[in-house]
């Protein structure tokens, strides 16, 4: 039975190529040790980057509710309330 290593990726808010390199290195090390690396806490930006690079087929991502991205492109401004400056 293969051991599972969980990696909490929730701290990766704005993923960079260095983040992808680190994740790929961790996955390789886990596979060499006979383990499966499972990413948890994956935010929308990291999930999108994994999809765009094709790495979503390489990594196992624990399903979960999508995390909110506070300043994402789909964020809408809240309407002003009457009487508020």
Nearest to 65 by CA among 48, 38, 44: 44
CA pair distance 38, 43, nearest whole angstrom: 14
Q: Give the pLDDT confidence score for residue 76 in this predicted structure.
A: 45
Q: Which of the four pLDDT bands, split at 50, 70 and 90, describes residue 82?
A: low
CA pair distance 68, 23, nearest whole angstrom: 22
State whether the Cα torsion 81-77-15-57 is positive or negative: positive
Top-confidence residue, 21 or 72:
21
End-to-end CA distance of the chain: 62
Exposure of 40 in the CB half-sphere (CA atoms within 13 A):
6
């Amino acid at each position: 039975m293969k051991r599972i290593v969980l990696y909490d990726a929730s701290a990766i808010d704005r993923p960079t190529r260095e983040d992808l390199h680190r994740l790929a290195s961790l996955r390789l090390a886990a596979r060499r040790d006979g383990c499966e690396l499972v990413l948890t806490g994956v935010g929308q930006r990291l999930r999108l980057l994994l999809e765009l690079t094709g790495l979503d087929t390489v990594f196992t991502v624990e399903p979960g509710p999508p995390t909110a991205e506070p300043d994402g492109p789909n964020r809408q401004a809240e309407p002003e309330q009457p009487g508020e400056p």
